[in-house]
Amino acid sequence: MALALSDSGLAFLKKWERFRAKPYNDGYGNMTIGYGHVILPGEKFTQLTEAEGAALLAKDAAWAASVVTQLVRVPLSQSQFDALVSLVFNWGSGNFTNSSHLTLLNAGDYAGTAQRIREHPITSGGQRSQGLVNRRAAEADLFARDGLYSLAEMEDFARRASEEASTTATAPAPAPAPVSESTSQTNILPFLVVGGLLLVALAWD
């Protein structure tokens, strides 16, 4: 049976998209409203309630979930599915379709996929975005774990990501380092496939 976005996955998505009652430019020239809903031709919105925004989010999330279901050819856990739905929702289906993320995943490289999610995309309008760095790190962590995030865990992860970013910004560095070495302190330990299920252990440095 095909997976669907879980309640925890929807809460994860709402946390990162944040609610906007009035239309705004998303930084790419797209007028957007509610929880990251891109206003389509023929749609006219001047203001939304949170309930209306949540209804739009449910439809948009269902679209992102259908993209993941159609393109991914390997088994996924619920957490992996939720993480990919968040990525596609934010990044778009075209980008995901032609991405190294999908190539790695369909080759069965789950650990490599998690690392690639952590690394890209983290720019907005050509500029490195700390908000996207934090979101990609959270999505990668969710993808690499077995189980679902609670709201408390999501808030704690966002806090730690913010503290880490602040520390990284003030620490002296002998030479520029790749983004992937400075965005998170989560190490993915060797994984084990048992009965077709991917088991992944995480450890904080």
Catalytic residues: 17, 26
Cβ neighbours, 10 Å, residue 45: 17
Residues 6 or more apart from 12 whose CB is under 8 A from it? 82, 86, 138, 142, 149, 154
Compute CA 24 distance to the chain's CA centroid, rounded to the nearest angstrom. 21
Nearest 5°: the CA angle 126, 127, 129 is 130
Give dist(CA 14, CA 19) in Å, integer.
8
